[in-house]
Amino acid sequence: MAAMLDIKDINVYYGAIHAIKGISLTVNEGEIVTLIGANGAGKSTTLRTVSGLLTPKEGEIKFLGETISGLPAQDIVRAGISQVPEGRRIFANMTVMENLELGAYIRTDKEGIEKDYQMVFERFPRLAERKEQQAGTLSGGEQQMLAMGRALMSRPKLLLLDEPSMGLAPLLIREIFNIIVDINKAGTTVLLVEQNANMALSIANRAYVLETGRITLSGDAKELAASEDVRKAYLGG
């Protein structure tokens, strides 16, 4: 089976800094794959490169068999990849509804868009209660839900999630991770970058461990969660 996302030997630089050093990874349709690693390991840089915000100097990224490395970000959204950025990046001065409308900007199917608003409100009932509220007045957890809802409005085949648990209380983190599992069960493939390695490994099918821009370990998420090295380095074991 061909991978949905296939990253081959990419090298990415920030100016003179060699941030990603020849990594290769795959995400198959229907999976949750997680990238774990310390701060500055290159996890977010990898997602930003997949979503077209950065261009690899060498290597290639393929999505559904087509090369996407080097394409503008909006074309990558059109191809079926949507990202929930680190720090949420919602539009604080706009209402919840306006933020969701922006998520559907590449679409013209009015009926489908209406259906998807309902889908988002069913998945995130708190957003339905606050749809006319300014997004900046929402709690951190609600803003994370809005960022996820907005990304789902483009009907992605692949959802990139960058640190969804950041700054959230433990109960909310559990809720957000349950929602990620539901989104995946409903048919969206997920590539997840997460500091909370315990939570990430508990919901993922497979995982890659990144250290200073290189993949040092990869495999079944449950097996990695049980590995002595991973436990010592990332799980506080």
Identify residue 205 by its one-letter amino acid code. Answer: N
Question: Domain map of the chain by residue range?
Answer: 5-234
Nearest to 79 by CA among 97, 61, 59, 91: 61
pLDDT tens for each residue of 151-169 = 999 999 999 999 999 988 8
pLDDT computed for residue 38 by the predictor:
86
Per-residue confidence at 127, pLDDT binned at 50, 70, 90?
Answer: very high
- In the chain, the N- to C-terminal Cα span, in Å, equals 36
pLDDT computed for residue 85 by the predictor:
87
Dihedral angle computed from the Cα positions of residues 150, 151, 152 and 154, in that order, rounded to the nearest 10 degrees: 100
Look up residue 139 and give its two tokens.
């709690």
- pLDDT at residue 2 tops 80: no
pLDDT tens for each residue of 38-92 = 888 999 999 999 999 999 999 999 999 999 999 999 999 999 999 998 877 899 9
Report the alpha-carbon distance of residue 182 to residue 28 in Å, rounded.
17
Q: Which residue carries 């349709």 as its tokens? A: 29
Q: pTM for this structure?
A: 0.93
* Cβ-based burial of 39 (10 A; exposed 0-12, middle 13-18, buried ≥19): exposed
pLDDT computed for residue 181 by the predictor:
96
pLDDT computed for residue 229 by the predictor:
84
CATH fold of 5-234 reads Rossmann fold (3.40.50)
Which residue blocks in the chain are alpha helix, DSSP H? 43-50, 73-79, 96-103, 110-123, 125-129, 140-152, 170-185, 197-203, 221-226, 228-234
